[in-house]
Chain A
Amino acid sequence: MLTISQYVRAESIQQAYELNQKRSNAVLGGMHWLKLQKRNVGTAIDLSDLGLDTIEETEDSFLIGAMVTLRQLELQRELNDISNNALSESVRQIVGVQFRNMATVGGSIFGRYGFSDVLTVFLALDAQVELYNRGVISLEEFSKLPYDRDLLLNLIVKKVNRKTVYLSQRNTKTDFPVLTCAVCKTDGKYRFVIGARPKRAVCFYDELGILENGITEASAAELGNYISSQVETGSNMRGSEEYRRILAGVLTKRALLQMKEM
């Protein structure tokens, strides 16, 4: 059971950051995950008053605050327009509307959970994270880092010409994914992300040039086989290592074929 001794609604980012330096303290996201933990939290740090709950559009990018909910992501028109609805597709199967009204982008990204649909799709979009201490780094780099006491402020998605497809395999419609897959093509360059392996999502590239002559049934299948051969998967309640390896290939192939039609 989770216990919390003190609740603080941070008045500044600096205050939140400082409070968060203590190991027993915790930043509140949507609180779904924190609540499941058997943990005694000293101070729960709420970022609600720090203006991090908006999606800001600038000339060249979108700035997504850490406290933006998954439901906001799902409904935000412009973000979905630039991602071929991949954002909406990546979150719409997460439990239910009420859950998504609470779960935050920051919580999903900072947690870098293996099962995260959100991490998968933003990796595909080559997002950057803005951290209080470390500054702006790529999400891909961030996704490999160990947990620390830094504070995630924003997610930055560049406005570039891209096509994105998001797919997942689930045992029931609103369950955690058995495997997630996102493919993004930016300026002719492909990025493949496989998540829920069940470890953290990882990125792959078409290093063999399989898609050099475009997406065909054959090249998509071959690329799928390539991903399948490269991805490191594991077993848990929802699926075996081998099943996930197969899914990684199938979903990649399907995502590519879907992209071909865009």
Chain B
Amino acid sequence: MENINTYTISIYTENNIGLLNRISAIFQRRHINIESLNTSISEIEGVSRFTIVVNLEEDRIKKIVGQIEKQVEVIKAYYHTDEETIYQESCMFKLKSDLLFEEREIQNIIKDSNARIVTVNKEFFVLEKSGRRNEIEQLYRDFSAYGIMQFVRSGRIAVTKDEMKISQMLAAFN
């Protein structure tokens, strides 16, 4: 059996209703768990980008990308290893404001982690942190001891180190 690796799939698509359903069904049908999923606009006007993270063997990821590309509204799909991409996740913590003023350690954690304070009021303050999954998880562990009021983490977003030819390809369409 081949080794399982983490792969980031980048999919450039038309911005049409129902496509998320169509793409997620490809994974569902093959019993592949999606570790993270993000959709957004892309660098090309009118073109959406899906960023999907899965843990899979390379042989299977190739087939999945083939099936994704086959969808009528998918312009192009790629898969990349972690080494081939620059990737980040984003998260937000909501904590009690008392902690900020009474626990010196909290201030140190914020400073050391390069987290950013988004808002502060009498009741709570909100931190935002972007980084690798392990950095976010460490921050979560650090704050857990003090009590987290709310926590949310985004899906991975990634850009490749190498150029993807998508811009060139789409220039031909536009």
- A, B from the same assembly: no
